[in-house]
A and B are shown apart, each in its own frame.
Chain A
Amino acid sequence: MPDQLLYAMEVALNGLMAGVMYSLVALGFVLIFKASGIFNYAQGVMALFAAMTLVGIQNGQVPFSHMINAALGTDIHHFGWSVPALAAIALTVVVMVGLAWAVNRFVFRHLVNQEPIILFMATIGLAYFLEGVADLMWGSEIKTLDVGLPQGINDWVDTATFDLFGYGFFIDNLDIVATVIAGLLVAGLVMFSQYTKQGRALRAVADDHQAALSVGISLNFIWVLVWSIAGFVALVAGIMWGAKSGVQFSLSLIALKALPVLMLGGFTSIPGAIVGGLIIGVGEKLFEFCFGNGQCFGGIIDLGGATETWFAYVLALGFLVFRPQGLFGEKIIERV
């Protein structure tokens, strides 16, 4: 097999893996949009907040220690204990549920029936608020996230592909774990929405919240529930991305990677978030390989690299033109 083809296969495989990482972020957007029609600008910051909270709890860090020390003249930073990873994850989920309750109690409960643009603006405010609170709670230094996830080249894939093609493919162990977790997450979400009472209530609210209210479904409860699930998804995304490059402010910018995925997959479809992520992941990586680095067609087009973000948005824009609701989104029909 020609070398370039093998390289392209490796790139495509890694693109699929990268796409899963994008999907993890996109899922949080989809859940909230589907249930409440809110485009949650704060989803990326929620991932940052969740990851910072996880590391803070794990390391026994005292939240708001800088403020406490400044106000009381003390010098406390740590409780002196560390919390095992699983327990820290569980405690972080509790914090995210608390955040979901607070967001609904103090923000969205007061904005029921407002225009979507008002709700969107509220999430922008929420994003900046959360960003500041995360800084105050846990500090702005880069934190190392260690929940025992494997990283580095997968030797089995390397050896197997070498035996097969004479060239060993690189696949990151972390990406494999992310794929498995994303699969479980989607399966769990689908089962939850199909087979549980709360899940059916959530779907009812998503279809028509006024009709859902009329049959006794609590809108407040459903919104807290869906924001809690989105908080959990944000935690998963925060763990995966935080393990790659440390937990730091840039984590909130991963939302930018999710936007083209949403545009392509549709804002209301969980499978759309996954398929959209995969298409964006493979598309951007192959485009970078072929035209960003001039590796295809004798290098006739070499754009000098760094095309991935650009291409992802161009691809999404192309889909928007021909299918505005995205691949799996609900068709928008306005009757006059």
Chain B
Amino acid sequence: MTKHRPLAAAALCAATLAGPAMAELVIPDLSYRTGPYAAGGIPFSDGYQDYFTLLNERDGGIGGEPIRLIECETGYNTEKGVECYESTKGEGALVYQPLSTGITYQLIPKTAADGIPLHTMGYGRTSASNGEVFNNVFNYPANYWDAASVAINHLLEQNGGSLEGKTIALLYHNSAYGKEPIRTLEELSEKHGFTLTTLAVEPPGQEQKSQWLQIRRERPDYVIMWGWGVMNQAAIQEAANVRYPMDQFIGNWWAGAEHDVAPAGAAADGYLSLNMNTINPEAPIFDEIRTNVIDKGKGAGDGSNVGNVLYTRGMYAAMLAAEAIAKAQEIHGVTEITAAQMRDGMEALEMTNARMEELGAPEIGPEFSISCQNHGGSGEGLVQRWNAADGVFEPVTGFIAPDNEVIDALIAEDSAAYAAESGIEPGCAE
């Protein structure tokens, strides 16, 4: 007993000096700054972190509670992502944003068991939009199937409302992520009378000669790309090599960032891609970030990414999380919220144009509201075009609504199957 006395005294002393534990809003950031997908992971994570840092620096956190960010490197590796989740969930994590469909699939049952919400913004399991089956998963403002439908709706508009007799090729990353839109596009091809060809690209996707030779031979009217990482850069270069028209080549929103088009140089001019948020580097929120975060040396990166496509998306993701925290604080009348209360906040989230303007990011995303039944938001997306001369993506359209008649039926079918295999009784969380 005697030999433990100094230790006990030290522990008591430390406890006395530490005082009461400071309440914090814990936000893990499962980032990937290394590995083959780092070029996409870095700007997203920088945007995600810088927004929370801005709130800490400018407002003292949210509702007076400081935000504590915990960054954990996943390398876009599913196993590492799960390790990151396991090592951070005990810190009082409020929400996870893993930026990986593979990690998302592993975390869905884990977060359900632990009662921690999962926000998979425009990625992950699409049918998680059904909040009655996936109580803890949210994929607002839009999901993969919405993206496929938005692309087709854009093409419908370009072709006078009919795609009858047209051919569309889907060039996809041969992974769970890349295969997500196939079912939706098959349904839409039946509905609109176009022929769908699917072309799988073996990850990571540096070598795509076979696929582009086929595209050159068959000359589909449009090519839709579901790529990520080096697959995007290689595909855009190959499209330029075979002289496929860039204005008939549409990437999804994970295939439309500056680093995707840069290696092809001027040849990428006119390349189209979807986006779930607008790009406006001049928005007041970026000035706020530069002044309060970057210039003070507190940025997650060196500030060179501020305002670019994926930085904006990461910042938008953080903005939606922050708004949900504020909503949870409002609903429960407390500032120090739990993960369960955060879930309630996310389920009551409402984003209006007025609120986005108030936040310094006018029309950064579509207006939407979340409910127990709908965890997916409005599903709207826009089309943007790469202007190589100016080095910017410019909007071609406003936000386009998806074909909910097709999407909702697919979501109902897939989520019902998941509920059956997982033994879930659909219903709103209590």
**Contact surface of A with B, Cβ cutoff 8 Å:** 7, 10-11, 14, 17-18, 66, 69, 77, 131, 135, 140-142, 144-146, 151-153, 170, 172, 241, 244-246, 248-250, 253-254, 257, 285, 288-289, 292-293, 304-306, 308-310
Contacts and interface: CB of A to CB of B under 8 A. Distances in A.
A221 B33 CA distance: 38
B4 interface: no
A77 B200 CA distance: 39
11 contacts: A77-B302, A131-B34, A142-B39, A145-B263, A151-B241, A153-B241, A248-B233, A253-B36, A293-B210, A304-B198, A306-B201
Interface in B231-246: 233-234, 237, 240-243
B230 interface: yes
B199 interface: yes
Contact of B229 (A11, A18, A250, A310): A250
Contact of A293 (B206, B214, B243): B214
Contact of A244 (B33, B206, B302): B206
Contact of A245 (B198, B202, B233): B233
Contacts, number: 109
B262 A140 contact: no
A14 B217 CA distance: 14
Contacts of B281: none
A55 B292 CA distance: 33
Interface in B212-231: 213-214, 216-217, 229-230
Contacts of B302: 66, 69, 77
B199 A246 contact: no
Contacts of B263: 142, 144-145, 245-246
A140 B213 contact: no
A241 B204 CA distance: 13
Contacts of B35: 249
A144 B391 CA distance: 14
A142 B229 CA distance: 10
Given A248-B230, A249-B36, A140 B237 contact: no
Given A131-B34, A152-B243, 15 more contacts: A7-B217, A17-B209, A140-B39, A152-B267, A170-B216, A172-B241, A246-B262, A248-B233, A249-B39, A250-B229, A285-B209, A288-B210, A305-B198, A305-B200, A310-B202
Nearest to A284: B210
A11 B213 contact: yes
B174 interface: yes
Given A151-B237, A153-B242, A244-B237, A289 B206 contact: no
Contacts of A288: 210
A305 B230 CA distance: 19
B290 interface: no
